[in-house]
Amino acid sequence: MKPRIVIAGGTGFIGRYLTQRFTEDGYEVLIISRGNSFINWNDEEKIRAALEGAAVLINLAGKSVDCRYTKKNKRIILESRVETTQKLQKILETCSAPPPLWINSATATIYRHAEDRPMDEATGETGYGFSVEVAKAWEAAFFERPLAYTRKVLLRIAIVLGREGGVMKPYTALTRFGLGGVQGNGW
């Protein structure tokens, strides 16, 4: 029997990459998403069944920040991170054989913009603004209560680069409009 990995929010850029790699390495990968082809966030019984006996839970869920920061989008960005994390916590608390490891995505944007020194977990200073408030609320939801049989690991992610998709799409578009600076060919 293949070890199982559950990826919440696994349809995004990072989730698709992890799904491919874990599948190639012989894992069974189950995805929790809003889409009908996957375990739906509204089906708590299927989520619980997926988590029972899983090797690891990876939570990457959250609305993309590649949008205008309207009031509505800001609300969705916050809620899509905090509420999915709280839902996973609630379901894990009812599992008889929960995964021993839960890796939850977070954002490195929690730190202040610094050019004077690196920001890290030991000496980093919290910044301010909307993204920092999202980061703090997301981490608070994740660490709100410990789980008896599941170790929690927070993964603070910054901008992710990749050949196909992710932030490279808008960056490539900007350079096509001449906003990338002088290129090797003089453009």
Compute, in degrees rounded to 10, the torsion defined by CA atoms 143, 90, 10, 79: -70
Neighbours of 182 (CB within 10 A): 8
Q: Which domains does the chain possess?
A: 4-176 (3.40.50.720)
pLDDT in tens, 124-182: 999 999 999 999 999 999 999 999 999 999 999 988 888 777 778 777 888 888 877 77
The structure's pTM equals 0.89
d(CA 110, CA 128): 8
pLDDT in tens, 98-134: 999 999 999 999 999 999 999 988 999 999 999 999 9
